[in-house]
């Protein structure tokens, strides 16, 4: 029976496993192994109340290690993670924090940018075990973190805008080295110096908590851990530090809450799972094992457990429903909710960590010191512009502003705007903010759709693409970008993009407007009597496939602009001097690693060139589209009869064509199409006629003449003469 229970457990059939264990206990009597198996099965099934009772019974029968409670920990984490209202959440912002590392949640130190466009501290990214981006979830299978170069613009911006935090980070890293050398006290001194420069750095608070924990000073460790959680309630490591400090203070019930919060935010932290099992072990073993064995089992089995865990876990996992608690657990559930709501409230409305709008804050802003967080409330307002407004006011006006905000008698809208702006994004000294720092070194304009190369340089995406059309190396440092080109990276660097939106809103909108105007100009191409891009290469025909191999830089740019504008079409002419051509519509583009591409196109409308021009190195033309003339009455019936006759001749020729040329034509142009009635007028006439014009062995000038014919009758007669020629015995002999 035990083997059956284990098999059911291993196949995730936990309910069946628990029933088998229960039946075995009734039939064969209780043992430590049976109670542990029953408890593990109940815990994984979400029946935590029954699981707690089974674990307590196991403790009464023998020694249970903390490692044997891993399934209880897993069941608790699974159940707790479903209670979304209890899990701390980060403050929602219009733009994500552009200076925050997505892993450690601190200001980025030596930032590097991944191919998906997100930036992290170099050390954080190199320590990551997974190739999965913490921000967007994209997996970079071939990325080597150590090979990524520092994002130059982002690195310089952090050093220039936040010198105190940068210096604090350096002290923290020195302290980390001392800690690794087991010089904990010296490390604490450096952490304290760093805290003077960055008092709201949760990483420093976490490190200090760890240092105090290592020294056995659990009260100080808990104090710093509490501060860490207040600063970053959605950072799992802060809750882990708090749980470890509470374990050291012999407060396992509170430690369980902290470890559950940690694992709800990040279930992959194994050290937190180990801490949770240790805390649960302390709760479940209030008496020594020897005393438990000496006590009467029957008496204990029917008595209420003194363990607090039974109250804490007094619920079952309903499908999406809340926990059903015992009456004795109500005070603990209330404690759980109160603690988490308090932490969430501190994250949204902090009273100690974020400064209120007062005279001291306004003074610090005027002097250019980093203040609290800020967020633009409109496109015209940014943390920098608001600082300029505040710093330009007189002492009297600053005093009145403070009084109005403090008393609440001022304008509600103005107060709300200032409060919102000062509390969402880092304030920056306007004297160090320079728009030129975010200028593209290729177009000398503000960066638009910024992308970061593996060598760490940042360019406008469009500018870099145009450079790579000519050379597969970085325009600045000449590092090979073959890998970048082969991966076809197009993700913008989110941090720099958000900096532009938040701190340079007006300049960004102006740059966006210019880009949209340029794009609109490309979109207008292809409309009636408008300028279209012109590809000088070969003859193209309506409804006929025309595969192209694109390798010239000017035509690489043309294809990209056609795709980005959404028109997906361009004109094709045989020669620069010819006036007749055909529109090609892009169906698919396949890129080679070196930037070349194969473009699958199909012919569209015919045109005649009215005037010529040049754009970005390739030809353009103002064109007028051509359409076949209409036929009616007896003339239409005559053309229908002629069309049927020519189609039969074409079908005969195609059927009798030898296998090799037939397969080559089919591969390139496709097979002969179906017969179409000419009674339904189209601008270009039947598609099969153009297929014949393309595949028949005619001189290009003859094909060009047919392309310009506006009479379907004349086109059919021309094709008929060619097919009659192939019917002659002499033509067959030459073909053989």
- Percent of residues in the chain assigned helix, strand, coil, to nearest 5: 55, 10, 35
- Give the strand pairing for 580-591 and 569-573: antiparallel
Name the token pair of 231: 């600063």
Q: What residues have CB less than 8 Å from 632, skipping those under 6 apart? A: none
In terms of domains, do 503 and 543 share one?
no
Task: Give the pLDDT band (50/70/90) at residue 424.
Answer: low
> Minimal CA–CA distance to 129: which of 148, 149, 103, 110?
103
CA distance 692 to 712: 14
pLDDT digits (tens, 9 = 90+) for 83-123: 776 667 655 555 557 898 988 888 899 999 999 999 999 99
Q: Is residue 217 part of a domain?
A: yes
> Minimal CA–CA distance to 145: which of 164, 154, 132?
132
Q: Give, for 581, the enclosing helix (H) or strand (E).
A: strand 580-591
pTM of the model: 0.64
What sign does the CA torsion over 348, 354, 360, 363 have? Answer: negative
The CB density around residue 564, as the number of other CB atoms within 10 Å, is 15
Q: Give the CA distances from residue 184 to residues 178, 189, 191, 204, 382, in Å, rounded to whole numbers and listed in that order.
A: 7, 9, 10, 14, 42
Look at 485 and 603; give whichever has higher pLDDT. 603
In terms of domains, do 197 and 307 share one?
no
CA distance 315 to 326: 7
Q: Is residue 334 part of a domain?
A: no
pLDDT of residue 476: 92
pLDDT digits (tens, 9 = 90+) for 143-183: 888 889 999 999 999 999 999 999 999 999 999 999 999 99
pLDDT digits (tens, 9 = 90+) for 237-264: 999 999 999 999 999 989 999 999 999 8
Could you say which DSSP state residue 411 is in? -
In terms of domains, do 565 and 444 share one?
no
Q: Is residue 188 part of a domain?
A: yes
In terms of domains, do 168 and 244 share one?
yes
Q: Which domain holds residue 189?
A: 111-251
Q: Is residue 89 part of a domain?
A: no
pLDDT of residue 92: 53
Q: Is residue 195 part of a domain?
A: yes
In terms of domains, do 645 and 604 share one?
no
pLDDT digits (tens, 9 = 90+) for 85-94: 666 765 555 5
Per-residue pLDDT averaged across 414-421, rounded?
35
In terms of domains, do 532 and 500 share one?
no
Q: Is residue 101 part of a domain?
A: no
CA distance 61 to 284: 13
In terms of domains, do 241 and 130 share one?
yes
pLDDT of residue 338: 52
CA distance 337 to 83: 11
Q: Is residue 74 part of a domain?
A: no
Q: Is residue 77 part of a domain?
A: no
Q: What is the CATH number of the domain that holds 209?
A: 1.25.40.10
- Given a cut of 90, whether residue 646 has pLDDT beyond it is yes
Indicate the residue among 591, 610, 626 that finishes a domain. 626
In terms of domains, do 229 and 118 share one?
yes
Task: Give the pLDDT band (50/70/90) at residue 468.
Answer: confident
């Amino acid at each position: 029976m035990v083997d059956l229970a284990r098999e059911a457990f291993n196949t995730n059939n936990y309910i069946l496993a628990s029933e088998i264990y229960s039946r075995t206990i009734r039939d064969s009597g209780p043992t430590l192994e049976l109670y542990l198996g029953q408890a593990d099965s109940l815990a994984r099934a979400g029946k935590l109340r029954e699981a707690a009772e089974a674990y307590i019974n196991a403790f009464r029968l023998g020694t249970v290690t903390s490692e044997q409670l891993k399934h209880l920990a897993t069941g608790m984490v699974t159940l707790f993670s479903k209670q979304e209202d209890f899990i701390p959440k980060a403050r929602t912002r219009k733009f994500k924090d552009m200076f925050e590392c997505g892993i450690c949640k601190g200001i980025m130190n030596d930032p590097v940018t991944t191919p998906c466009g997100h930036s992290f501290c170099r050390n954080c990214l190199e320590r990551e075990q997974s190739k999965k981006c913490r921000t967007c979830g994209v997996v970079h299978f071939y990325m080597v973190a150590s090979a990524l170069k520092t994002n130059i613009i982002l690195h310089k911006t952090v050093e220039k805008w936040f010198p105190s935090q940068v210096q604090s980070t350096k002290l923290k890293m020195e302290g980390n080295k001392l800690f690794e050398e087991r010089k904990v006290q010296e490390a604490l001194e450096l952490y304290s110096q760093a805290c003077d420069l960055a008092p709201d750095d949760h990483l420093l608070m976490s490190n200090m908590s760890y240092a105090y924990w290592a020294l056995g000073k659990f009260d100080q460790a808990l104090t710093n851990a509490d501060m860490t959680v207040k600063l970053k309630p959605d950072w799992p490591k802060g809750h882990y530090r708090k749980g470890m400090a509470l374990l050291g203070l012999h407060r396992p019930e509170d430690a369980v809450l902290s470890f559950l919060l940690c694992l709800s935010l990040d279930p992959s932290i194994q050290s937190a799972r180990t801490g949770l099992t240790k805390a649960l072990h302390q709760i479940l073993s209030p008496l020594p094992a020897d005393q438990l064995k000496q006590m009467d089992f029957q008496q204990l089995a029917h008595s209420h457990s003194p363990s607090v865990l039974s109250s804490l876990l007094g619920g079952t996992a309903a499908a999406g429903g809340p926990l059903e608690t015992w009456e004795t657990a109500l005070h603990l559930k209330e404690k759980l909710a109160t603690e988490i709501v308090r932490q969430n409230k501190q994250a949204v409305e902090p009273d100690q960590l974020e400064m209120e709008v007062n005279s001291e804050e306004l003074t610090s802003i005027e002097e250019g010191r980093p203040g609290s967080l800020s967020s633009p409330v409109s496109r015209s307002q940014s943390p920098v512009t608001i600082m300029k407004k505040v710093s330009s006011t007189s002492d009297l006006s600053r005093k009145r502003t403070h009084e109005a905000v403090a008393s609440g008698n001022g304008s509600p809208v103005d107060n709300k705007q200032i409060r919102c702006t000062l509390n969402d994004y880092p304030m920056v000294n306007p004297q160090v903010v320079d728009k030129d720092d975010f200028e593209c070194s290729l177009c000398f304009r503000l960066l638009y759709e910024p992308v970061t190369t593996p060598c760490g340089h940042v360019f406008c995406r469009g500018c870099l693409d145009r450079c790579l059309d000519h050379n597969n190396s970085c325009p600045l440092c000449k590092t090979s970008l073959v890998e970048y080109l082969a991966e076809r990276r197009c993700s913008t660097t989110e941090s720099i993009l958000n900096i532009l939106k938040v701190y340079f809103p007006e300049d960004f909108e102006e740059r966006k407007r210019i880009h949209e105007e340029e794009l609109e100009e490309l979109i207008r191409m292809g409309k009636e009597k408008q300028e279209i891009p012109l590809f000088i290469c070969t003859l193209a025909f309506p409804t006929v496939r025309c595969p192209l191999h694109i390798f010239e830089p000017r035509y690489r740019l043309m294809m990209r602009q056609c795709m980005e504008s959404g028109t997906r079409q361009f004109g094709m002419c045989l020669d620069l001097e010819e006036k007749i051509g055909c529109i090609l519509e892009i169906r698919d583009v396949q890129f080679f690693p070196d930037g070349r591409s194969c473009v699958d196109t199909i012919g569209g409308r015919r045109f005649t060139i009215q005037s010529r021009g040049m754009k970005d190195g390739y030809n353009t033309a103002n064109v007028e589209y051509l359409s076949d003339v209409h036929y009616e009455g007896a003339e239409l019936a005559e053309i229908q009869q002629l069309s049927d006759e020519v189609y039969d001749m074409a079908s005969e020729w195609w059927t009798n064509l030898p296998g090799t040329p037939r397969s080559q034509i089919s591969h390139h142009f496709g097979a002969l199409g179906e017969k179409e009635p000419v009674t339904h007028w189209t601008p270009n006439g039947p598609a099969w006629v153009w297929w014949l014009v393309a595949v028949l062995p005619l001189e290009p000038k003859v094909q060009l003449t047919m392309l310009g014919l506006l009479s379907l009758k004349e086109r059919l007669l021309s094709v008929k003469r060619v097919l009659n020629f192939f019917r002659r015995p002499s033509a067959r002999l030459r073909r053989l």
